[in-house]
């Protein structure tokens, strides 16, 4: 019956039924949010950590997105992506998260709000009226909760949009900030020596200073330490052991060899930490690593009455761009450049630890011991860089003692990595903030992956296989058309004869 009915329909009636069917499907889909994400790294999928945080909201969160309409790609695509993400978050919040998409361009009230929330007007190129023009555009948002407001002023690179938004909301709704402690014992730099760090941490953590010669209070579960200028006492050694054994989380940035670039001198640091780390199977080598994959430095050079700055490749500053697969500490990180780092050896780490060599140099590296030639203009022999993948930062996670809790330890042999000089240029911030999230008690949001879309490279092919594929692409399509034509011709011939 249905078959006969379908056969009796005209083309117009069939088209009308198809259109009505599509309208009905869209109406039904609007009643329930559903998305099928086929991207390799889940670009359009909200992570479980964000879903959990949003579902726990107990008061209204309002998000105002100030985004200019009718912008060209990729800005228009970004706007659609942001709106889709917020629609899904709103559907997960049980009415506790509302959002607005606002074009402030021609509304004085909304323009005043962009100034109030420090969302800048950007200059973008658009093609209008058959010519290229510069247009003022807004691409930012503000999160409002109770009497608080916090902005994400520029939304252009959206790789970490979900993470940035989730951490902003989480920070605003949490009544009590987690404690992040450091120590100035044994000449270690403290918060007052790290003004750049305070800028990024003071809104998210309660920063405090304690003595590591006394037991760490139970209220402190996250500790960050830097290079000591004198030998650490056995008492402090025992305090650190006890802290890790009770499930504490420690990040230690320190120099094994202290370098003075101006004086072109380097001296080993006798910190007394060797015995502490050796307990966990970690050895800090008394050396510095060099890498041909390195950063450049600006070096002034006098040419008569003129001084010019030369950009010189400096192997003492390795550029690390490859990270362990799936490591949350690499989220949103493009490169990390340690400064005069030493090799870390994992000699006899217990099987109970989950060990990750977090930062390693390239396959064209070498160790340098004893004498360090820091002259930036020296000539390097590439063939002498025969060492491969020397670790300069590692993480250990597991039980550090007889306690029931699992602790975390990150070691990086670069005490200057988070100095104000390098924090200010912004290059080290993403990695450092990931370290802080990793040692924080509430690190669930660190599991939110970066949503960066990437190209999947084709495998390397042999020259012979390339030729085969080349001529196959040229010959197979016309051959298929020819075969189809012959078959069609024979079919029509048979029909004519019958």
Q: What is the pLDDT of residues 88-128, one digit of tens each?
A: 999 989 899 999 999 998 789 999 999 999 999 998 887 76
- Indicate if the pLDDT at residue 328 is higher than 80: yes
Confidence class for position 145, pLDDT limits 50, 70, 90: very high
Q: How many DSSP H helices and E strands does the chain contain?
A: 12, 20
Q: Compute how many other C-beta atoms are within 10 angstroms of the C-beta atom of residue 479.
A: 10
CA angle 243, 248, 252 (to 5 degrees): 85
- Indicate if the pLDDT at residue 424 is higher than 50: yes
- Tell me the HSE value of 331 on the side-chain side, using a 13 A CA sphere: 24
Mean of the per-residue pLDDT values for the chain?
A: 85
* Percentage of residues in the chain having pLDDT higher than 70: 88
Where does the chain hold its CATH 3.40.30.10 domain(s)? 45-173
Where does the chain hold its CATH 3.40.50 domain(s)? 179-447
Confidence class for position 368, pLDDT limits 50, 70, 90: very high
Position 238 scores a pLDDT of: 93
Confidence class for position 455, pLDDT limits 50, 70, 90: very low
Position 48 scores a pLDDT of: 83
Instruction: State if pTM tops 0.75.
Output: no
Q: Is 447 exposed, middle or buried (0-12, 13-18, 19+ CB in 10 A)?
A: middle
Q: Whole-angstrom Cα distance, residue 188 to residue 229?
A: 6
Task: Give the helix/strand (H/E) hosting 421.
Answer: helix 420-423
Please state which of the ranges 22-31, 220-229, 230-239, 349-358 shows the lowest mean pLDDT: 22-31
CATH of domain 45-173: 3.40.30.10
Position 89 scores a pLDDT of: 92
116 vs 205, more confident: 116
- Indicate if the pLDDT at residue 431 is higher than 60: yes
Give the single-character DSSP code of 122.
Answer: E
User: In residues, how long is the chain?
Assistant: 498
* Cβ-based neighbours of 461, under 8 Å, separated by 6 or more: 469
The arithmetic mean of pLDDT across residues 272-282, rounded, is 88
Q: Which one of 3.40.50, 1.10.10, 1.20.1250, 3.30.420 gives the CATH number of domain 179-447? A: 3.40.50
Please state which of the ranges 190-199, 240-249, 429-438 shows the lowest mean pLDDT: 190-199
Phi, psi of 137, rounded to the nearest 5 degrees: -140, 150
Three-state secondary-structure class, residue 60: coil
Position 454 scores a pLDDT of: 47
48-55 and 75-92 helices, crossing angle to 10°: 50
- Indicate if the pLDDT at residue 438 is higher than 50: yes
pLDDT digits (tens, 9 = 90+) for 379-395: 888 999 999 999 999 99
160 vs 366, more confident: 366
Position 416 scores a pLDDT of: 83
């Amino acid at each position: 019956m249905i078959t006969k009915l379908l056969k009796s329909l005209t083309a117009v009636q069939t088209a009308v039924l198809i259109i009505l069917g599509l309208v009905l499907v869209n109406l039904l889909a609007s009643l329930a949010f559903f998305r099928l994400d086929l991207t390799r790294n889940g670009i359009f999928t909200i992570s479980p950590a964000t879903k959990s945080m949003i579902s726990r909201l107990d008061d209204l969160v309002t998000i105002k997105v100030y985004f200019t309409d009718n912008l060209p790609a990729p800005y228009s695509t970004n706007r659609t992506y942001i709106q889709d993400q917020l629609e899904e978050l709103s559907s997960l919040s049980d009415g506790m998260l509302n959002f607005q998409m606002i074009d402030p361009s021609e509304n004085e009230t909304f323009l005043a709000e962009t100034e109030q929330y420090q969302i800048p007007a950007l200059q973008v190129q658009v093609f209008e009226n058959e010519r290229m023009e510069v247009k003022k555009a807004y691409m930012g948002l503000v999160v409002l909760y109770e009497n608080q407001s916090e902005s994400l002023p520029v939304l252009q690179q959206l790789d970490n949009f979900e993470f940035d938004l989730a951490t902003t909301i989480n920070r605003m709704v949490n009544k009590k900030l987690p404690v992040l402690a450091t120590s100035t014992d044994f000449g270690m730099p403290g918060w007052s020596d790290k003004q750049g760090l305070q800028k990024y941490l003071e809104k998210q953590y309660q920063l405090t200073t304690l003595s590591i010669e006394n037991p760490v209070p139970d209220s402190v579960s996250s500790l960050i330490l830097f290079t000591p200028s004198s030998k650490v006492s056995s008492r402090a050694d025992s305090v650190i052991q006890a802290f890790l054994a009770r499930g504490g989380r420690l990040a230690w940035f320190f120099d094994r060899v202290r370098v003075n670039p101006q004086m072109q001198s380097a001296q080993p640091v006798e910190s007394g930490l060797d015995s502490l780390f050796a307990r966990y199977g970690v050895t800090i080598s008394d050396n510095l690593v060099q890498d041909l994959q390195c950063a450049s430095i600006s070096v002034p050079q006098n040419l008569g009455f003129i001084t010019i700055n030369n950009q010189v490749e400096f192997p003492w500053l390795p550029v690390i761009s490859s990270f362990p697969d799936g490591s949350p500490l690499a989220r949103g990180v493009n490169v990390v450049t340690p400064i005069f780092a030493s090799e870390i050896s994992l000699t006899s780490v217990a099987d109970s630890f989950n060990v990750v060599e977090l930062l390693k140099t390239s396959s064209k590296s070498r160790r340098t011991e004893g004498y360090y030639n820091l002259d930036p203009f020296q000539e390097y022999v590439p063939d002498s860089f025969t060492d491969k993948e020397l670790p300069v930062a590692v993480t250990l996670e597991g039980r550090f003692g007889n306690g029931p809790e699992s602790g975390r330890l990150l070691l990086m042999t670069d005490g200057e990595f988070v100095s104000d000089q390098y924090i200010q240029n912004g290059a080290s911030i993403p990695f450092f903030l990931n370290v802080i999230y990793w040692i924080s008690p509430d690190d669930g949001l660190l599991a939110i992956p970066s949503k960066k879309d990437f190209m999947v490279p084709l495998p390397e092919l042999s020259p012979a296989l390339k030729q085969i594929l080349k001529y196959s692409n040229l010959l197979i399509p016309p051959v298929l058309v020819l075969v189809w034509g012959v078959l069609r011709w024979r079919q029509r011939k048979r029909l004519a004869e019958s």
